[in-house]
Amino acid sequence: MRHDTVRPSESPSTSNSSISSLMRYPLLNRELGILSFNERVLAQAEDESVPLLERLRFVCITSSNLDEFFEVRMAGLQEQMRDNPGALTPDGMSLQQVYDQVVERAQKLVHRQYTMLDGILPRLEQEGIVFHNVDELTDVQNEWAREYFQDELLPVLTPIGLDPAHPFPRVLNKSLNFAVELEGKDAFGRQAVMGIVQAPRALPRLIKMPHELSGYPYGFVLLSTLMQRFVGELFPRLTVKSCNQFRITRNSELFVDEDEITNLRIALQGELPARHLGAAVRLEVSADTPKHLVRRMMDEAGLHEQDCYRVDGPVNLVRLMQLPDLVDRPDLKFVPHVPSTPKALANTPSLFAAIDRGDVLLHHPYESFQPVLDLLLEAANDPNVVAIKQTIYRTGSVSPLMDALMQAARNGKEVTVVVELLARFDEETNINWAAQLESVGAHVVYGVVGHKCHAKMILIVRRVVENGKPHLRRYVHLGTGNYHPRTARLYTDFGLMTSEPKICEDVHHVFQQLTGIGAEITLHRLWQSPFTLHPRLVDAIRAETEHARAGRKARIVAKMNALLEPTVIHALYDASQAGVKIDLIVRGVCSLQPGVPGLSENISVRSVVGRFLEHHRIYYFYANGDEDVYLSSADWMDRNFFRRVEVAFPILDRRLKRRVIAEGLSAFLGDNQAAWVMQSDGHYRRRRPGKTSRNAQMSLLAKLCSDTVAP
């Protein structure tokens, strides 16, 4: 069993022998691109137009993103440096060069985070939201804090005194810990030097002080404040010299030997408990921690000076994410929006009847996710529905969609659910859902080992009568985002409901591949990974290239989360040189280098970071005037093309196609408030409003939501 292994599909490097082919055209570094994205996220925290509590939330989101970056990408980079130090990354740099640049950039980003926090906290205090400092507690506040510590914390804390019988503990991944320097002798006559206290995850990190004691409408005390104040009670009759916060981030990739496993669920259940104890990747300590203590912690964790991040504040800013939810100050948050219901679905007695009248497009979070749930609920209770099939990647620990599927199974429907057990950090949730679905008689499969099922599909089979003849009709929902009601209010995604026969037949065949065994099936409408999506996409890019060379109009616009796959990037470079105008809207990391004379001067790359997380995947090709538009679950990355099951589906209805182009592409190309434009050196510059200010997300809120939302 290994817990410090990066899967080959996630490796940040490639062999030297393949570098020459990759370096035909320049590529930008992936790890640096991820940090660049987080710099753009953090910029939201210093934007004065963003409400104050939302600015704090963006600081916390950056911390959460960095946690995953270190758990996965940095862990992989460190492992590659140990196992294959001579390897080069796809951009041609050595692993050591990448590591040095990543560390320097990450250290600056973390410093900037805490500098921003120092600016936000005084503003919050002016609004009556304050964090009480340990040195500023009044006698009455101190007494309340002591009682809280003794009643709520002391019974669940386990101090560990370090001596030959108690070595330095292997603290859990991302847990909050305290290194306590001690002086004196204990009850057994041992000389006390140091103790470690881990704060259980169940303990709140943010504790609300009663209003009458605080003197502020919203007064809070951090758990770390209480620990620093009263940690001596855990070590009676010893002198506490210092109490220092620290946190260790560990490699969190799960290693499953695909050649050896016979039951993926059992194999994962064996791996999950040890995820929190993988190899150490990063040490975070409070800035005032004594140097000798920091050195001891680094040595114990097997880390170097570069892996240590000294912070002037709480070592885990992610836990401050709960603050906006604890404070009833709507004026300091984004104005709530009420997602609308498309006219095609309004007042309809049956969603099936609405879909029969024509395809239905849903644009989340501006339009409600409820119709997707309603479709499943109607199917679960409709006596004419005989079968329901659905893929699940991420759905949350509480999911009305899963409840609807279980209800359908109880009602005698043939329910098949493809649950992706290897959805990173959602493995345990998905294992639990799989067990619950099986308990009510649903068929549960885990897709194809070695190929994560990332496609978002629902297939419903229903008896209908037409011209006096009964037959079975299929209905399909396809989406760019997860079947997750909560994130559907936070992420921008498209969903399509259709009964178009060829699309429905294609979805049927994809499910057939996922649940059965057989040869590749030719699809009519859908592009599918790992078979046709990549070659069809490259062919579409090359077709635009040929149109341009023939003097015809050629145009490519694409929106995605990440662009990394070299063959696609090279095809885009070729298209640019042929004169194709290419606009790419890439939220996160992009390895393509735009605006290079003679190579990519016809390519623009922009990233939009705003209130909602941009999550659509949209591919547009002018196609000699046909204007082909595809929506997909797939980013343009190696893993999406070759190691996942993905689908890209066409928008055939001309009216809906115009909507996708207008709402998903044109609005974001025109954004001059939340858009960042990549320069030819890979750095981003924020667009500035001219005479007219345009914010795509706010415009769509005003246009599509039930209530008017002020910009």
Q: How many CB atoms lie within 10 A of CB 702?
A: 16
Residue 649 structure tokens:
């589906």
DSSP reduced 3-state for 102: helix
Helix (H) or strand (E) holding 495: strand 491-498
- Is 337 among the annotated ligand-binding positions? no
**Residues contacting residue 257 through CB under 8 Å, at least 6 positions apart:** none
Q: Is 65 annotated as a binding residue?
A: yes
Sequential DSSP letters for 267-303: HHHHHGGGGGGS-EEEEEEETTS-HHHHHHHHHHHT-
| Chain-centroid distance, C-alpha 496 | 22
446 among annotated binding-site residues: no
Residue among 57, 44, 42 at smallest CA distance from 322: 57
Bridging pattern class, strands 194-198 and 177-183: antiparallel
- HEC string of 439-492 equals HCCCEEECCECCEEECCEEEEEEEEEEECCEEEEEEEEEEECCCCCCCHHHCEE
128: nearest Cα among 365, 328, 376, 380:
328
- Cβ-Cβ contacts under 8 Å for 131 (sequence gap 6 or more): 121, 220, 221, 222, 225
Q: How far is CA 356 from CA 370, 381, 464, 490, in A?
A: 19, 19, 11, 30
Q: In sequence order, which ranges of 44-94 are alpha helices (DSSP H)?
A: 52-68, 75-83
Is 615 annotated to bind a ligand? Reply is yes
Beta-sheet strands, E only, within 519-670: 527-529, 555-560, 581-586, 603-608, 613-614, 618-621, 628-632, 644-650
14's enclosing H/E stretch is none
**Residue 509 to residue 381: CA distance in whole angstroms:** 25
Cβ-based neighbours of 368, under 8 Å, separated by 6 or more: 339, 340, 341, 362
Nearest in space to 247 (alpha carbons), one of 201, 293, 214, 282: 282
Sign of CA dihedral 226, 228, 230, 236: positive
Length of the chain, in residues = 711
655, 650, 648: which is closest to 632 by C-alpha?
Answer: 648
Active site residues: 454
Check whether 394 is labelled as a binding-site residue: yes
Could you give the CA distance from residue 403 to residue 421 in angstroms, rounded to a whole number? Answer: 18
The tokens describing 103, both together, are: 């560390």
Q: What is the 3-state secondary structure (H, E, C) of 335-364?
A: CCCCCECCHHHCCCCCHHHHHHHCCEEEEE
Decide: helix, strand or coil at residue 317: helix
Task: Note the Cα 356 to chain centre separation in Å.
Answer: 35
Q: Ramachandran region of residue 441, left (φ > 0), alpha (ψ -120 to 50) or beta?
A: left
β 618-621/218-222 pair status: unpaired
- 432 annotated as belonging to a binding site for a ligand: no
3-state secondary structure of 250: strand
Q: Are strands 581-586 and 469-479 parallel, antiparallel or unpaired?
A: unpaired
* Among candidate residues 587, 451, 588, 591, the one with its CA nearest the CA of residue 528: 451
Q: Binding site for Mg(2+), residues?
A: 394, 424
* Feature table: binding site for ATP: 65, 491, 587, 615
Annotated binding site: 65, 394, 424, 491, 587, 615
